[in-house]
Each structure stands twice: as structure tokens, then as C-alpha cells.
Amino acid sequence: MNLLEYQAKALLTKHAVPVPHSQLIRAATDTLSLMLPVMLKVQIPVGGRGKVGGIRAARTKTEFSEIAADLLSRPILGYSATELLAEELVHIHRELYLALAIDRDQQTAVLMAHMHGGVDVESAANDSRPVWQRTLVSAPKKAMARELSTYLKLNNTQASELHLLLKHLYDVFIQEDALLVEINPLVITDSGDLLCADAKIELDDAASFRHEKDWPRAMHSQQFIPLVDKGEPKQSAHIIASMANGAGLAMATIDAIADAGATPANFFDVGGGTNTTHMAEAFATMAKLPGVSAIVVNIFGGITRCDDVARAIITARGNVKKLPPLYIRLTGTNEAEGRALLADAGIALYPDLKACITAAMEVRHV
């Protein structure tokens, strides 16, 4: 789960990490409690908003209302924001980059830093300029903070501030089950203080069982991912929705749909256990995607049992209006039981994925 900036900063504040004074704005008519001027930052789950006018300064009350109204009224980078973050103006002396992340290959936590933070740090990282990186097995020690301070060219006061900051960021990383805590930029202000001007935090969805109370509600569910949207021109005569059990099979299914010359409408991994409600919701969402002419269901049961899937399909089919035709492939654990149930319900089955897609593409698009 990727947090929005204001959610990330709320977690930072909870762990005593310094961030600018701010106020969440939900409407242009909200009363501003901060001193003018303020920066208004649109809250969307992707980077690059500054380059397209998603971060703007307001010097007067009138400007504040106008900019707030504008940022809340139109999509930015494809997202319609419902929140803005108003922040006090930060007087920037230098911009640095700091991140705690998981190194997949080394299977460890790492602390990374860069002399030059800011909007273009990713392209900067591709330069040969050094990126400072150390493995973390426990909270950063004083020696590590001192070493990093030397690399970042901080003075003695800032070096002690950095050590404290690193310890607090490590608390966020571990206690909040974060996969990424990225501070970009970490600002040295004109008065010499360290301040986290922007933050990106990704939390581990798998750890939600131990954070039910303190985590923000998930903003963007990642299980069902639409791949077509209403704004885009139609790419092909056949737009095919799909579901499969297992992420790999679901990806292979959309690959095969694209290979056959049709447009995959979505990605959906129905998961290991089969839940009738989830399946009905997925069918309903698919039926609403623009131009979908068919739904391919590709199930190879391992831990998933075919008879459970069959029951879920039958129930879900009955509950969803205007459902496009289903093309189902069902094999694996409890296959015979699953096939019998679908046969009784008068639902046809296809021997493999290719046969499903071929049949789905024979449907004339209306």
C-alpha cells in the first residue's frame, strides 16, 4: 500500500520525525489556519506532480481559494484528488535524499542516501555520482550516522540531529512494517535545521493484521487492476476481461489475450481461497469496464479447489446484471467435482486457455 504524502507525514509525525507545519484541505472554502504564504500540494499516489502544476504557492487568501478550487476540480496525472496538503513555506538551503528500503537480492534492510535530493534524484542515481548505501540489521548506530554526516557534508549540530532522525525513521520502518520510507528531499533549511519536506512510504499489506487500528484505510486496492479506461480510444475490436488463480497465471492470461490480438481489460488474481463475494464483485466491476465483450476465467487449482470455484462462479453469475459471456477453463484439485457442478448449471467449459480466448474472440462486438 502506497501512502499519500499527508498519510506518510502523519506516520512520520507519530514517530517524532520533523516535517513542515501543514493542514489538510478538502474544499476551497476550508478556513486556512496556517500563516500565508503556503504551498498547496495535490495528494495523488504518483510522483511528478510538481512538474505538471500540482504543487503551487498561494500568497493571499484569494489565491489560496482559487488554486485549491482548481487542484480539486481536475484530474492530475490521471488522478482526481480529494485532498490537498497546505504547508508552510520551507526556506531551502540544500536538498538531500534519504531512504530505508528492502534489498531483495541481499535480503536485508538498507539505508541509502544521496548528496543531491529533489525531483530528479532517479535520473541522478543513473549518473556515476555516488549513492551512499549501508546494510541495516538494527537501528542505525552513532558511527553510521557520523559516516553519513561526513558524506552529506553536515556540521556537528546537524550530525547529531541526523542520528536522531535516522533512529526515528528506523522506528517508522520497523514498527509500521514499511517496505519503503523515502525522504526526498530531506531539506537543510536556511536556519540549518533538518526537515523532511516530502515523503513516500509504502506499507506491507501482508502486515495489516497487526496494524488494524493505526494504519490509514487502504487507498487503492491492488488486487483488481483495470487496464482500460473510459477516456482512452478503443485499441482493438475485442476487449476481454479475465480472472485467474495465482498472480503468475493471471499475468500469463493477460499476456495470452494480448498475444491473440485482443485487449486485456484488467488484471485480477482471485487468490488462493475462493470467496464468492470477491468473485461477484470482480464480475460486476468487469461488466462495467468500457467495451468488455467477454470474460475469460482461467483456473488451475492447487490450494484452490475447483468445486469451490465452480460454486462461486454459479452464485456470482446469478447476482451480476449484464454479465458478458464467460469462457471458463477449470482444472487441478477437485476438478471432476467442479466440472460436474458447472455442467449441472449449464455452463460450458473449454479445455485450455487458448480455446477460451479463441471462442471469446468469435463473439461479435456490439
Partner 1 sequence: MFDSLFKKPGVLVQGITGSHGTFHTAAMLAAGTNIVAGVTPGKGGQTVHDVPVYNTVAAAMNAQKIAISAVFVPAPFAKAALIEAIEAGVKLIVCITEHIPVHDMLAVLAAAKEKGSVILGPNCPGLLVPGVIKLGIIPATVGLMGETAIVSRSGTLTYEAAASLSAAGIGQRYIIGIGGDRLHGLSFVDCLTAFQADLHVARIVMIGEIGGQAEQQAAAYIKAHVTKPVYAYVVGHSAPPSTQLGHAGAIMGGESESAAAKTAALEAVGATTAQSLPALIAKLSKAS
Phi/psi at 108 (nearest 5 deg)? -140, 165
CA 200/CA 6 separation, integer angstroms: 10
| Interatomic CA distance for residues 244 and 232, integer angstroms | 25
Mark 47-84 as b/e (b = at least 16 C-beta within 10 Å). eebeeeebbbebeeeebbbebbeebbeeebeeeebebb
Q: Which is nearer to partner 1, 27 or 303 (CB)?
A: 303
What is the smallest separation between the CB atom of 21 and partner 1, expressed in angstroms? 31
Q: Which is nearer to partner 1, 18 or 226 (CB)?
A: 226
Cβ proximity to partner 1, 303 vs 340, nearer residue: 303
Q: Three-class SS of residue 255?
A: helix
User: For residue 248, how many other CB atoms are within 10 A of its CB?
Assistant: 10
Of the two residues 71 and 250, which places its CB atom closer to partner 1 in the complex?
250
Nearest distance from residue 273's CB to partner 1, in Å? Answer: 9
Beta strands in the chain (DSSP E): 22-25, 38-42, 55-58, 84-88, 92-103, 108-114, 131-136, 178-189, 194-196, 199-203, 224-226, 239-244, 263-264, 266-268, 292-301, 326-332
CB 139 → partner 1: shortest distance, Å?
14
Residues that bind partner 1 (CB under 8 A): 102, 104-105, 107-109, 137, 174, 177, 179, 204-207, 209-210, 222-223, 225, 227, 244-252, 254-259, 264, 267, 269, 272, 300-303, 331-333, 352-354
Residue closer to partner 1, measured from CB, 40 or 306: 306
Q: Give the whole-angstrom CA distance, residue 78 versus residue 169.
A: 31
Q: How far is CA 132 from the centre of its chain?
A: 26
In the complex, what is the shortest distance from the CB of residue 156 to partner 1, in angstroms, rounded to a whole number? Answer: 33
Do residues 342 and 330 touch, judged by C-beta distance below 8 A?
Answer: yes
- Integer-rounded Cα Rg, in Å, for the chain is 25
Burial class (CB in 10 A: 0-12, 13-18, 19+), 261: exposed
Neighbours of 177 (CB within 10 A): 17
Min CB(207)–partner 1 separation in Å: 4
CB 127, min distance to partner 1, A = 15
Determine the Cα–Cα distance for residues 169 and 348; give it in Å rounded to an integer: 55
Shortest distance in whole angstroms from residue 123 CB to partner 1: 12
Closest contact distance (angstroms) between CB of 261 and partner 1 is: 12
**Rounded least distance, CB 158 to partner 1, Å:** 29
In the complex with partner 1, the residue whose CB is nearer, 24 or 252, is 252
